[in-house]
Amino acid sequence: MKTPAGGDGESGASGYSKAMRSAAPLLNAGIQLAASVVLMLFLGRWLDGRFGCAPWLMITGIFFGLGAGMFQFIRTVGAVDRQEAEDRKKHED
């Protein structure tokens, strides 16, 4: 049942838990983005020490981690957007 304000009648803890469940994939994607950059930074730094070519492998690692993290972030945002569009379509019918 829709409320006059346009909500679906949920309030309190159930509305909060629903909001957190829908935001969880986006929060997770942000954490994955940061983790991939940090992981590749340390891997590049370690490889620089091993091969003596500082700071080039660290910089390469940072950009590779950023690219991989952004790719995964964009995929996650697209999946969440598609899921929300399907949910909206289901509620309209």
Distance CA 65, CA 34 (A): 9
Residue 14's pLDDT band (boundaries 50, 70, 90)?
confident
Say if CB 12 and CB 44 are below 8 A apart: no
Instruction: Give dist(CA 87, CA 75) in Å, integer.
Output: 18
pLDDT for residue 50: 96
| pLDDT in the model for residue 1 | 46
Domain layout of the chain by residue ranges: 28-92
For the entire predicted model, the pTM comes to: 0.75
Whats the size of the chain, residue-wise?
Answer: 93
Mean pLDDT over each residue of the chain, to the nearest integer: 88
Predicted pLDDT of residue 58: 97
For position 66, what pLDDT does the model report?
97
pLDDT at 2 over 70: no
Chain centroid to CA 53 = 33
Q: What is the CA radius of gyration of the chain?
A: 20
